[in-house]
Chain A
Amino acid sequence: MRIRSNSLHVGANRQALYLVSALLLPLSGEAFAEPHHHHIHGANIREAAYSSYRAPAVTLTDMNGELVQLDRFLSENRPTLVEFFFTSCTTICPVMASTLSSARREMASLRDDFRILSISIDPEHDTPARLRDYAQNFDQDSRWRLLTGGRRDIDRVLDAFDARYAGADKMNHQPYVFLRAGPDRPWLRIEGVISGQQLVAAYAKVLDEADPQSKPK
């Protein structure tokens, strides 16, 4: 069965993709590197919105060969971040992984039982051994799980998070981060290459909205 090209939110063809892209306002002027007054270079955020996604009941494999049943994992009562990547990706994936690595201490100071799932969209190439090699580049801890699995299962996860990319061609994959405070909360879907500060701020925001009374640890 051929996988048709994705669109961000509706339909299934490239025209829809362009149309929807045209409706999205780029949120950061720095995305175009226009001259700007403050000195912090904003990251390339294109959109951030809440959505509900249900993870499918698929079993993926982590870099140590351990099986992870995704829906059960995501039903645990803890904050979770999900993103998609592949180990031979050269442009955005190492940047995202570095960003996740750099933000984790500040995130942990807000609430430290979070988990990060990086799910490979190139399971043909990304074996657990390759995931381990990739992970060694980044300063990380056991909160970060890299996952691979069967092609169809990965596709089901992409579908569930509305993260399919044009032509089923992984070179067209877009940077997304999905973040939520717990299984009863909606996912914050962030499109773009989020910066470390923005990630911490988004994490603080979803935690705060889930439990406005609580103070950071």
Chain B
Amino acid sequence: MNPRSFSLATFFLATVLSASISPPAASESAGDASLGMRLYRDGIRADGSPARATVQDGVALPGAKSGCVNCHRPSGFGSSEGGFYVPPITAPILFEPRRLDRNRLFPNMFEQAQPKGYQARLRQPHMRPGYTEDSLSRALASGIDAAGQPLDPIMPRYVLSDADVANLTAFLRGLSVTPDPGVTAKDLHLATIISADAPASERAAALATMEAYGDWANKRTSGYAGRERYSPYHHSDFADAYRLWRLHVWELRGPRETWRSQLDRFYSEQPVFAVIGGLVSGPFDDVADFCDASRLPCLFPNTDLPRTRNADQGYTFYFSRGLELEGEGLAAFLADAEAKPNAILEIVGSGPSATRPAAAFEHVLRTRRPQARLSVQPLSSVADVRSLSAKIGGEIDTVMIWPGETDDETIVALLAALPKTARILLPSSRTALARDRLTEEQAARVLLAHPHELPGVEHPLSYRVRAWMRTRKLDILEPRLQLQTYYALSLFDAGFGHLNTDFFRDYVIELIEHESEKDMNPGLFPTLTLGPGQRFASGGIYVVRLDPMAKDGVSAVSGWIVP
């Protein structure tokens, strides 16, 4: 069961126990909300068969795509895509008469480029009474809404039993009813997670950026809220939606096995609505598991070891798949290169920062270039280097090194021991070593993964972001980290702003997915883009060679590789 369906189940259980579900009408049958959830999310009926859905004059939808979640989304707040407005079907909206709410529709009406039919639908919706189980049954079977008017042809018609409808009704009665924790009447509580061994300058830079942004956000909204009825761009209309940002730093100390209980304790002491940025050494998996279990959006931690298993539809968003992506990208590069490799030596240092990209590299290489002979050797010390160089035959044409936690000195010694005809591949983390510590002869044979935008390619937004930082007297000592942190904050800000007063985490996740391409990339990556269920905003790498004449000492030998 993927993390989000599990957490929806726990969410449902929580709401069952609360008093704030819209009460079912006396005539409603007692449906099973967990079966209703399965219908909503997976399109599976009570009897286990896939729901039969037809759209547009009888076109059958595949079972996997016929669940309500596809258009109405996990939060039930609907979506705007492809020129279609999909309305919300959360409990407070579905089971009540339709109310015209300009605030909720403000982004759709005024901030999106949508065709005429979409705009008409927003401004002249069908008014209708609240749905009941009966009228819901009719709507699903024949596409007639609660006011007797036809639903849009793109809304599927379903063949469902009475039990299915009862189950679905029971589930919908609990859908997005109680706002999620972390938002109070005045405050929005946010956290950032930093492990105690994070380098001091990085920690300081990340926190300073977050504090500066939070201060700025609070001044901004205080300004809007203070100008009732004559604010620019109607900002005072949203007075009920503004909250003051309160940032909490959750510092993880001690062994990794204790992190989960530390996080649970931090959360129970101060529930937060989302986790932003952060610096955690080593794999992010433990934190990602906590985010999924707590249904907590964790936005763009600064990590190169994300949890890539079961990541889609989960609660953590990442810039990229990090070191695994570098492994896949380098293997794809080799497989597609003109000079194809025939005998590859892969040297794997210690720790997940070596073993994970190595596994990814091997997998892609074996799939795409099965003809190549691949030999994998561990490396952890200078003694290993000497024994390796005794083993290496002369025919190796490519050496892939994953240093992991191995120190630079050992890597330099290793490189000196390698055959002088082999090209050498290294991850992006050792670019400085490659640039500064190699002989000219070695440097000519080195290729590096480069999972970022190329040096010298400027994105306009980066100027504005750096200017923003300077006006706030924020030293830019860790530019990459600070721009990444800024991106996480600004994307969250945009998503949260569009919630209006619907403080639901699933909804903010959907908005973040939706907002991601709106020109907020400060240029660290060629593209940052998401989509429904996507969790990795950048999907590729360049491969670069060392080039002393080029900016930052590297220049591309490939296009953008999406492995």
Contacts and interface: CB of A to CB of B under 8 A. Distances in A.
B117 interface: yes
Contact of B65 (A14, A36, A94, A195): A94
A22 B116 contact: yes
B514 A196 contact: no
B57 A196 contact: yes
Contacts of A124: 527, 529, 538-540, 562
A197 B59 CA distance: 9
A91 B531 contact: no
Interface residues of A, number: 58
A59 to B, nearest CB: 12
Given A41-B153, A98-B62, A195-B56, A91 B71 contact: yes
Contacts of B540: 124
Contacts of A34: 149-150
B80 A175 contact: no
B83 A175 contact: yes
A32 B86 contact: no
Contact of B59 (A2, A26, A151, A195): A195
B98 interface: no
A134 to B, nearest CB: 10
A156 interface: no
B383 to A, nearest CB: 41
A90 B70 contact: yes
Contacts of A193: 56, 82, 84, 153-154
B460 interface: yes
Interface in B45-103: 55-62, 64-65, 70-71, 73, 79-84, 86
Contact of A102 (B60, B112, B532): B60
Nearest to A91: B81
B83 A167 contact: no
Interface string A13-53: 01001100110101000111111100011111010000000
A32 B121 contact: yes
B529 to A, nearest CB: 5
A127 B559 CA distance: 15
B533 interface: yes
Contacts of B124: 32
Most buried by B among A22, A41, A86: A41
B116 A166 contact: no
A94 B62 contact: yes
Contact of A33 (B61, B71, B151, B563): B151
Nearest to B126: A33
B533 to A, nearest CB: 6
B82 A175 contact: yes
- B interface SS class: loop
Contacts of B70: 90-91, 94
B113 A17 contact: yes
Nearest to A28: B153
Contacts of B150: 30, 33-36, 41
A91 B59 CA distance: 14
A72 interface: no
A203 to B, nearest CB: 15
A174 B532 contact: no
B200 interface: no
B81 A26 contact: no
Contacts of B80: 171
B531 A86 contact: yes
A125 B153 contact: no
Contact of B154 (A21, A91, A167): A91
Contacts of A102: 58-60
Contacts of B61: 94-95, 98
A108 interface: no
Contacts of A123: 562
A94 B562 CA distance: 24
Given A41-B143, A124-B538, A31 B57 contact: no
B517 interface: yes
Interface string B130-155: 00000000000001000001111110
A170 B517 contact: yes
A104 B115 CA distance: 29
Contact of B113 (A14, A42, A86): A14
A-B CB proximity, top 9 nearest = A166-B113, A92-B82, A88-B531, A94-B65, A169-B517, A41-B153, A124-B539, A195-B56, A137-B62
Interface of A: 2, 5, 14, 17-18, 21-22, 24, 26, 30-36, 40-44, 46, 86, 88-95, 98-99, 102, 122-125, 127, 137-139, 150-151, 166-175, 193, 195-197
10 contacts: A43-B57, A91-B154, A98-B55, A99-B56, A124-B538, A150-B560, A167-B113, A169-B518, A170-B531, A171-B81
Interface of B: 55-62, 64-65, 70-71, 73, 79-84, 86, 112-117, 120-121, 124, 126, 143, 149-154, 460, 514, 517-519, 526-527, 529, 531-534, 536, 538-540, 559-560, 562-563
Given A26-B117, A173-B81, A193-B153, 5 more contacts: A33-B149, A46-B117, A90-B70, A95-B61, A102-B60
